[in-house]
Amino acid sequence: MNPCLPFAANLVQSSLRSNGFSKNIVLSPLSLNAIAAMLATGCSGRSLKRVLSFVGCDDLEQLKSMFSQMMSIATSSSSSSSPSSSACSGMSNSYRRYRGCGGSSSPPKISFVNGVWVDSRFPLKPSYKDCVTNVFKSDAKNVDFQKADKAIKEINSWADLQTNGLIKDVLQRGHISPVTALILGNALYFKGYWADEFDITRTRNQNFSLLGGDKVSVPFMGISRHYLYGSFDDFKVIELPYKSGNIGDKKRFSMQLILPHKIDGLQDLVLKFNSGFISPHFELERTLVDVVRIPKIKFSSVLEEIKFPFMEQDMELTEMIHARDPPFISKIIHKAFIEVDEKGTEAAAVTFSAIEGCAPEAIQREIKTFVADHPFMFIVKEETSGLVLFVGAVVNPLPE
Task: Break the chain into its structural domains and give their ranges.
Answer: 5-76+108-192+299-356, 193-295+363-394
**Same fold yes or no, 5-76+108-192+299-356 and 193-295+363-394:** no
Element (H, E) at 27: strand 25-27
For 193-295+363-394, CATH number? 2.30.39.10
3-state helix, strand, coil in the chain (%, to 5): 25, 35, 40
> Would you write out the chain's pLDDT as a tens digit for each of its 400 residues?
788 999 999 999 999 999 999 999 999 999 999 999 999 999 999 999 999 999 999 999 999 999 999 999 998 864 333 333 333 334 344 434 434 443 345 889 999 999 999 998 999 999 999 999 999 999 899 999 999 999 999 999 999 999 999 999 999 988 998 889 999 999 999 999 999 999 999 999 999 999 989 999 999 999 999 999 999 999 999 999 999 877 667 899 999 999 999 999 999 999 988 877 666 678 899 999 999 999 999 999 999 989 999 998 889 999 999 888 888 999 999 999 999 999 999 999 999 999 997 633 444 567 889 999 999 999 999 998 999 999 999 999 998 7
End-to-end CA distance of the chain: 33
Query: Please, which residues have CB within 8 angstroms of residue 201's CB and are 6 or more apart in sequence?
Result: none
Enter the pTM of the model. 0.90
Class of domain 5-76+108-192+299-356: alpha beta
Q: Which residues have C-beta within 8 Å of that of residue 243, sequence separation ≥ 6?
A: 100, 105, 106, 107, 108, 192, 193, 194, 195
